[in-house]
Amino acid sequence: MPSSPVRTQAAEAAEHVDGVPVGEVVRPQSTAEVADIMKDAAVQRLSVVVRGAGTKLPWGAPPRSADLLLDLGGMSGVLEHEAGDLIVSAQAGTPLAELQRIVGRTDQRLGVDEVVPGTTLGGLVATNVSGPRRVALGTVRDLLIGVTVVRADGVVARAGGKVVKNVAGYDLGKLMVGSYGTLAVITEATFRLHPVPEASASTQVECGSPAEATDLVAAVMSSQIVPAAVEIDAERGRCTVSVLVEGTRAGVEQRSAAAAGLIGAPAARASAPGIGLARDGSLLKITTQISSATEIAQAAVQLGLHVRGSVGAGVLYASTDDPETAVTAVSRLRPLAAARGGALVLVDAPAEVKSAVDVWGPVAALDLMRRVKHEFDPESRLAPGRFVGGI
């Protein structure tokens, strides 16, 4: 397994996917090799889980099985950078930081923050993590314009970018975003880029709680400042609100001063708010209406969680090292988020927490999602059980 010249080895004793033992590790070097591997896996009826750098491999629910771990770490590199058209194509195993370094040579950037160090492009698309600048530049879903994937049966499909035809009537790229490797193996991706701004500045203010930040956030979001990011970092007894503005030097100077005046902060500094997601304990992702973001953050803080995220986009991450707190938070915050037009997902957690709650929670379109899964992977061999509803 397989017959093509692919680096293959038996999994080490410690090799697992969220506690599920791995049978074999395969390291292809190209889309064609991935296709051969998937064809062989289909014949042998093997379950397959994809890994890039492994930074988000435990996210979601544990798969029911992982006969084959498809390691795309060897599929790294920028394939094409059309600076004049603000487009870049790269292999799925390419680290986001490496892509940013390369396109940065022409003063361009992919408008996605690296919230998990070491993230690869395939993992970025599969988990749909965008970061603070999503307020101004959009999400991974907005920036992805083309994709190459290998289906569960080994068929290669391409969509978007220079190839405008989609497969079977689906918007293939959008389906891949946030699919957690359950529909197809992403091998290449094409993104729309943005110019690196001439200047940027961040303004921060301390307040006692997220509730106290409500009016500050509302003032910034309804102003003419046009922030690139509005972030919160809060836990019991402490709350920081950060406002990032980007653009021309003259414009940034004027707008950052206006932002400082609105939130009562000192002069801006030439730095950006960052967000580093917890790597230990439990991590919850909460989406909500922008107008309810500080309310949700306040409720999470009161439960003992550390909250960080984009109050300017209604996307928050809450973390805790205490398993009991995590279970309680899921049960109490999930209905609150749903009532505010959002949802709560237990992104990562110890086994004892994941076994006590529904990781994904209820999804209105579950029947449709199951039909899509059946179209792409009728035998449910790609990361089986990892996604919502056991998909």
Instruction: Judge residue 299's burial from the number of C-beta atoms within 10 Å of its C-beta, 0-12 exposed, 13-18 middle, 19 or more buried.
Output: buried
- 8 Å CB contact between 52 and 76: no
Q: Are residues 103 and 169 in the same domain?
A: yes
Q: Are residues 295 and 147 in the same domain?
A: no
pLDDT given at position 310: 94
Q: Are residues 262 and 274 in the same domain?
A: yes
Query: What is the sign, positive or negative, of the torsion defined by CA atoms of 88, 90, 92, 98?
Result: negative
- 8 Å CB contact between 225 and 298: no
Number of domains in the chain: 2
Residue pointed to by tokens 């391409």 = 158
Q: How many helices (H) and strands (E) does the chain have?
A: 12, 19
pLDDT given at position 221: 93
Residue 296 sits in a domain whose CATH number is: 3.40.462
- 8 Å CB contact between 297 and 232: yes
pLDDT given at position 4: 46
- 8 Å CB contact between 193 and 142: no
Q: Are residues 233 and 380 in the same domain?
A: no
Residue 375 sits in a domain whose CATH number is: 3.30.465.10
Show the low-confidence residues of the chain (pLDDT under 70).
Answer: 1-14, 161-170, 267-276, 278-279
Q: What are phi and psi of 185, to 5 degrees?
A: -95, 115
Q: Is 105 left (phi over 0), alpha (psi -120 to 50) or beta?
A: alpha
DSSP structure string for 112-124: ---SSTT-BHHHH
pLDDT given at position 276: 64
Q: Are residues 139 and 225 in the same domain?
A: no
pLDDT given at position 7: 56
Non-local (6+) Cβ contacts of 2 within 8 A are: 8, 26, 33, 36, 37, 39, 40
Q: Are residues 213 and 226 in the same domain?
A: yes
Q: Are residues 257 and 347 in the same domain?
A: yes
Q: Are residues 223 and 166 in the same domain?
A: no
Q: Are residues 133 and 156 in the same domain?
A: yes
DSSP structure string for 66-90: EEEEEE-TT---EEEEEGGGTEEEE
Domain that holds residue 17: 1-196+363-391
Q: Are residues 181 and 309 in the same domain?
A: no
- 8 Å CB contact between 384 and 65: yes
Query: Could you report the per-residue pLDDT of 18-72, keeping only the tens digit for each?
Result: 999 999 999 999 999 999 999 999 999 999 999 999 999 999 999 999 999 999 9
Instruction: Judge residue 251's burial from the number of C-beta atoms within 10 Å of its C-beta, 0-12 exposed, 13-18 middle, 19 or more buried.
Output: middle
Residue at 253: amino acid letter? E
Q: Are residues 259 and 347 in the same domain?
A: yes
- 8 Å CB contact between 286 and 253: no
Q: Are residues 144 and 217 in the same domain?
A: no
Residue at 52: amino acid letter? G
Picking from 304, 344, 299, 334, the residue whose alpha carbon sits closest to that of residue 320 is 304
Dist CA 245 CA 366 (whole Å): 39
Q: Which two tokens stand for residue 4?
A: 């093509």
pLDDT given at position 163: 42
